[in-house]
A and B are shown apart, each in its own frame.
Chain A
Amino acid sequence: MATEFHNLQELRHSASLATKVFIQRDYRDSTICKFQTKFPAELDSRIERSLFEETLKTLNCYYAEAEKIGGQSYLEGCLACATAYIIFLCMETRYEKILKKISMYIQEQNEKIYAPRGLLLTDPIERGMRVIEISIFEDSGSTSSSSSGSSPSSSTAQ
């Protein structure tokens, strides 16, 4: 279908939001932040399973690293106590740094992998870390230039 229109310059495409898939949290390991890696059926024809699973595994790794209790978290806790928590006003915690990394990763994944396939990942922090929302867009048809004045439109998501 894509190839048909490549040569037809007068045809324009637009995408519209079709549905949303929600990847739920995986609570099997208690309340640590982890998302189910089960491949949703709705994405079966939109993206390769391996790509999706890789994205989710990376995200889970990021979250596991953020929530890891280790040397750095001890240091942060003690420092915070010692400074009467004023340190929170000056410094970014490790979790916040990793969240920024996650946000950049999701943005990159969207640009490189998901947007070309008509999908859009939403950062789970926007949903309270309860779900990963995947918006599925579909080609809402093409409008040809012959049908006067139609201009190309695209869905922009932020």
Chain B
Amino acid sequence: MRRSSAYIPVSTAAALLVTSSTLFFVFTCPWLAVNVSPVFPPCVGIVFLFVMANFIMATFMDAGVFPRANEDEDKDEDFRAPLYKNVEVRGVQVRMKWCASCHFYRPPRCSHCSVCDQCVEDFDHHCPWVNNCIGRRNYRFFFLFLLSLTLHMVGVFSGGLLYVLDHPENLWELHTAVALAVMSVSALFFIPVLGLSCFHLVLVARGRTTNEQVTGKFQGGVNPFTRGCCQNVQFVLFSPITPRYTEKLGERLPLHIQPPFHQPESHKLSPDGSVLSQILPVKSLEEVDAPDSKSLTCPPPLPPKPDPVLLKNHLAALEESLLQSRALMLSGHSMNPLQTSESPTKVLYQVPRDQMGSRISPLVPQEHASEPSLLQPENHANALTLNSRSLSLKHSSRRGSQRAEIPHASQSVLSGRTGSLSYDSLLHPAGVQPAFLPMDPGLSRGCVDVQRLPARNCSPVFMHINREPSPVRYDSLPKPLMSSIQERREPDDKDKPMQDSGIYDTPSRRSLPQDLRGLSSSRGPTPPAYGSREFLLSSAAYGYGSRSHLSSSSSSSLTRAPRTTSSPLHFNRSLSPSIYQSLDRQSQLPPSTLPAPLPTSSYGPQKALAYIRGGERPEPEL
């Protein structure tokens, strides 16, 4: 609702225009018709009608207002999006600015009007004399209004002058006085109106808007929007009027969307062929519409935090066991512990063993086989765990109130599941890992969103992590220790990116089936070891109580992150380059990953610190 004072200029302009013209027609035109020409008054009349028509159109026509963006569209933009996005227009880089009010990147030439509080397409200026924005849809009316008003003023002034010159002795007579008054008003406003008309003539010829001219956008550079003088004039005057964007749309026919859905021919599931694409629908889903997702329930409350002293003791024990287990892994006898593994693998993959085994085994021969069934709701917990962790990292600095919810989700998930990976699933990379979507913007909406995310993104990092069957000693150690060991091993692992230097590295790369190794190597210089460590660190860092330690560097990296295209894991880059670059690369891998023995959420705050430190280290391999 605009202030009532905003209506003063438009009312004044309208009143002056109508009153002066009416007086001219009533008092001066009869004499002009008789003594000058009978054509003169009708011409002035037509011009006046044209002025009024354009004035009314410029006043009441929608300038090309963009409606506010829906929540769905901007939910991945608000927190991490940079302020500007570059786009190329005819070879010239144009900056699109994020509009905080309208929640989208303003298209080129669009600007937000502070008076109207709307983004306007091809924004020219906000004109107080018509009390309206001048934009793409009504610029021609405004321009024609100016031109026709100039012409009308010239006609009225000249008609009045002729009359006054013919009646010099009766200057105080009514008709003469009125003619003089009309002449004065015309003369008073003629100069500014003429100036404005000439200004807009030049703008139209150069293909610029007032906004661009005044802000000096193209002063030293090239205007990519110009088409040449004639084409610019043609565009302004004769281009079709674009539709109103804010109009209420008519009723549409209802459309029923009912599964089962058709699959593309190349992605049909077959026993022999790759089922990679089967996983992609879920894998690529990166945004979840909160109100529509019903598959997950709210998480239970967070379990109590571990004792730091106890954690340290456990850490030492875990480290020792890991050293031993590492030797075992390298020797290739690491498969056996899988069957006896307990808490780590159970925690990581809370999938009923029988389900995993039965679903994965038929796909075992497939190198890239993914297990769509793994993405069933029962797998959501696993994805939930990861997603909640990553979510907490991403939004730790922004949503303190939501932080507590995320570990809740992970804790509940972990505690609620009792299944464990089947030996077969761990042996063969046929299983699809629970979705790891650290940067899913949808998760920022709260725990409910986090839970809904699940199972929709497969993390190839899992594959790397869990290629090495978890050593038997992992099972007996508390999770916080594992991340500590991760932390300690990081410097070593950095030096030997391709070697098996960590618990969650892929020392088994040597022991992996040839196809898997080929698979990873064919994907480029991905250091799975590092990536897996990073990943585990990140997941470890989201144990309860670790959120407070997420550094501002992580959050600042969010805002600095360049906006990328809609790849599921592209968001990761803004969060932690080292971690998510590896994840991003690995996201290009087929999701034929083994479940990784992720540490559970029982990590203390120091693990979060470890994560952050690890995350900030430069990643030479990447």
Chain A residues at the B interface, C-beta cutoff of 8 Å: 1-2, 5-6, 13-22, 25, 27-31, 33, 40-42, 44-48, 66-69, 73-74, 76-77, 81, 84-85, 93-96, 99, 103, 107, 110-111, 115-118, 120, 123, 125-131, 133, 136-142, 152, 154-158
Contact check, B566 vs A40: say whether CB atoms are below 8 A apart.
yes
- Name the residue in A14, A117, A128 with the highest tally of chain B Cβ atoms < 10 Å from its Cβ: A128
Give the residues in chain A near B88, CB-CB below 8 Å.
27-28
Q: Is B220's beta carbon under 8 Å from chain A? A: no
- CB of B240 within 8 A of CB of A20, answer no
The prevalent SS among residues of A at the interface is mixed
- The digit string for B243-257, where 1 denotes a CB below 8 A from any CB of A, is 101100101111111
Interface residue total, chain B, C-beta cutoff 8 A? 82
Q: Is the CB of B240 within 8 A of A156?
A: no
Which of B257, B263, B292, B456 is in CB contact (< 8 Å) with A45? B263
Question: Which of B240, B243, B262, B566 has the most chain A CB within a 10 Å cutoff?
Answer: B240
Does chain A have a CB within 8 A of B376? yes
B501 to chain A, nearest CB (A): 33
Q: Counting CB contacts under 8 A, is B267 at the interface?
A: yes
CB contacts between A and B, total, < 8 Å:
223
A20–B442 Cα gap in the complex (Å)? 11
Chain B residues whose CB sits within 8 angstroms of the CB of A93 once the complex forms: 240-241
Contacts of B277 in A (CB 8 A): 44-45
* Chain B nearest CB, measured from A100 CB (Å): 10
Report how far A71 CA is from B567 CA in the complex, Å.
44
CB distance from A154 to the nearest CB of B (A): 4
A125: shortest Cβ distance to chain B, in Å? 6
Whether B90 lies near A158 (C-beta < 8 A) is no
B25 at the A/B interface (Cβ < 8 Å)?
no
Closest residue of B by beta carbon distance from A121:
B255
Bound-state CA distance A116–B568 (Å) is: 24
> Which of A94, A130, A136, A139 is close to B240, meaning CB atoms less than 8 Å apart?
A94
- The answer, among A18, A46, A77, A131, for a CB contact under 8 Å with B456, is A18
Contacts of A73 in B (CB 8 A): 238-240
Does any Cβ of A come within 8 Å of B269's Cβ? yes
Contact B50 A84 (CB under 8 A): yes
Cβ-based interface call for B242 (8 A): yes
Could you tell me the distance between the alpha carbons of A44 and B224 in the complex, rounded to whole angstroms? 34
Closest partner residue, chain A, to B49 (CB atom): A84
- A138–B260 Cα distance when bound, in Å, is 9
Q: B372 and A1: CB pair below 8 A?
A: yes
- A95 to B69 alpha-carbon distance, docked (Å): 23
CB neighbours of B49 from chain A (8 A) = 84
A142: chain B residues within 8 A (beta carbon): 259
Please measure, in the bound complex, the distance between the C-alpha atom of A16 and the C-alpha atom of B281, giving whole angstroms. Answer: 13
Q: What's the least CB distance linking A102 to chain B, in Å?
A: 10
Contacts of B492 in A (CB 8 A): none
Chain B's nearest CB lies how many Å from the CB of A3?
8
Residues of A within 8 A of B295 (CB): 16, 140-141
